[in-house]
Amino acid sequence: MQFDLPGLQQLMLTLGEKGYRARQLAEWLYLRGAESFAGMDTLPRGLRSSLEERFVFSQPRVLHKRTARDGTVGYLLELSGGVKTEAVAIPSRKRLTVCFSTQAGCALGCVFCATGALGLSRSLLPGEMLSQLAVVAADFADVRVSNVVAMGQGEPFANYDATLSALRMMNSPELFGIGARHITVSTAGLVRPIRRFASEPEQFTLAVSLHSAEQRVRDLLMPGLSSQSLDRLREALLFYMEKTARRPSLEYALIRGVNDSQQALASLLAFCRVPAPGFHVNLLTLNASGITLGLEREAMSGGAEETPSEAQGAEGRRKPLSTPSAGSSPPLSAALPTLQKAGPAAFKRFENGLTAAGVGVSRRVSKGASIAAACGQLACRSVELQEL
Ligand code: SAH
Ligand code: SF4
C-alpha cells in the first residue's frame, strides 16, 4: 500500500474512519515528522490504537549533519533496514530549496558521480522522500520550504510511481503546498518515463542530465544509459515539449578534454535545434566526486599500477570502460580517469555559441561542495572534499 493521500484515504475507509482523517494523519507523518502514533492528538484515541496495532513507526534518523560556509546543510539519514541516503537544504535570501533523494545509491553508474559509485541499495518509498522535507522543515523552523529538486541520490524515473506520489504530496495545498513549477525532477534521461511524465496533469519542471550530445562520449560518461540512444532521448523530449509546451532544461557539466570541444558544442547545438519552446541549457561546474576510476585506468592503459585504495574503491561497482579501439580518440579516453572541470574559456565558448543560436543558457555552480553535498557528491560521507 502506498501511504500517499489517496492510499491513506483508502486506509481510513478500511478502518471505518472519515476520509478527512487521512489528511490529518499525513500532516503528522510528513509535515510534523511525528515519532509515534500516540502523540497524534488530533486523531481519536481509537484510531491511534488501531494504527499502532497495524503499523511499525519508522521515521528517518539523522546520523550526521554538516553545514557549509555558504549555508548549505547536508543530512545523512538512516532509513528502515539501516539503509542510508542523503538530503540537502539550500537556503538563499528568498528561498529554501530541498534537494531530496529518490533512491539509496544509484544503479546507473555515471562515471563523474559519487552516488553512481555506490551502486543501488534500494528505491525509497514516497513517505521516505517526504520525510526528507520534514527533516529540513524542522531544522529551518522559521522558513517555509519553497522549492524542491529531485537531484539527491538516485534516479527518480527508475522509481517513477513512488516519486510521483511524493511530488503530489509536496504539491498538495493540504500538505507542503509547494507550487508544481517549483518542483523539479532531474532524470539521467530514461526515455519511456519522460513520455509518461509528459502526460501528468501537474506542471512539474523537468531537467535532463545530458552531459554530451555525442553518443560515444555520453556512453562513456553514462554507461547505464547506453541502451537509450540520444536519438530516442531527443524524440521523447520533443514529445514532452509538444504535449506540455514547457521547456525542459539540459544539464551539462563541462569536463576538460571530454565534452568541452568545438565539436562537442556543435553536437549540442544540433541537439538543441528543436521547435519552441526549446531547451534551456544549464552549464554545470563539475564537482569533485572523490571517486577514482581505477578500473578504467587499468582498462585503458592495459594494467597500470594502482594504489590499493583505488582498486578497492572501484571494485565490483563499475564495469570497466571499454578500451578505445584503434582510430578512436585517445585524448578523450585518457582524460576520463582524471575528470577535471573545464576552464573559463570553454564556459564562455559554450555560452556564446548557445546564445548566438537562440538557446537559453545559464551557469550553475552547485552549493555545498565543501561538505560533499553538491551535485554528484552524495555518497553517504561525512567528510570534507578538496576543490578540483
Ligand atoms: N539521477 C538524476 C538525479 C540525481 S543527480 C540525474 O542524473 O539527473 C543530480 C544532478 O547532479 C544531475 O544533474 C547530475 O547530472 C549532476 N551531477 C552528477 N555528478 C556531478 C558532478 N560530479 N558535478 C556536477 N554535477 C553532477
Ligand atoms: Fe545516478 Fe544521476 Fe549520479 Fe548518474 S548522475 S549515477 S543517474 S544519481
Atom of ligand 1 nearest to the CA of 289: 22
pLDDT in tens, 137-162: 989 988 999 999 999 999 999 999 99
**pLDDT over threshold 70, residue 312:** no
Rounded mean pLDDT of 76-90? 94
pTM of the model: 0.85
Summary mean pLDDT of the chain: 86
Atom of ligand 2 nearest to the CA of 225: 7
Residue 60 pLDDT exceeds 60? yes
Query: Which DSSP symbol is given to 341?
Result: B
pLDDT surpassing 50 at residue 105: yes
Nearest CA to ligand 1 atom 12: 209
Give the pLDDT confidence score for residue 388 in this predicted structure. 38
Grade residue 221 by pLDDT with cuts at 50, 70 and 90: very high
Would you say 337 and 307 are in contact if contact means Cβ atoms under 8 Å apart? no
Of 1.10.150.530, 3.10.20.30, 3.40.30.10, 3.50.50.60, the CATH number of 1-57 is 1.10.150.530
Q: Does residue 110 have an active-site annotation?
A: no
Strands (E), the chain: 61-67, 73-78, 84-91, 96-99, 103-105, 120-123, 147-150, 183-187, 205-209, 249-254, 280-285, 360-364
Q: Report the topology of domain 58-371.
A: TIM Barrel (3.20.20)
Helices (H), 247-307: 262-271, 294-301
What is the rounded distance in angstroms from the CA atom of residue 21 to the CA atom of residue 353?
A: 55
Cis peptide before 277 (omega within 30 of 0): yes
**What is the structure's pLDDT at 291?**
59
Going by alpha carbons, the residue nearest to atom 18 of ligand 1 is 376
Confidence at residue 294, expressed as pLDDT on a 0 to 100 scale: 43
**Active site (annotated) includes residue 106:** no
- Sequence ranges of the domains in the chain: 1-57, 58-371
Share of the chain above pLDDT 70, in %: 85
Tell how far the Cα of 235 is from the centroid of ligand 2, in angstroms.
Answer: 21
Listed range (65-74, 167-176, 371-380) with the worst mean pLDDT:
371-380
pLDDT at 100 over 70: yes
Stronger pLDDT, 339 or 309, i.e. the higher one: 339
Which cell numbers hold the place of 34?
Answer: 511525528
Residue 341 has pLDDT above 60, yes or no: yes
pLDDT, mean of residues 337-357: 94
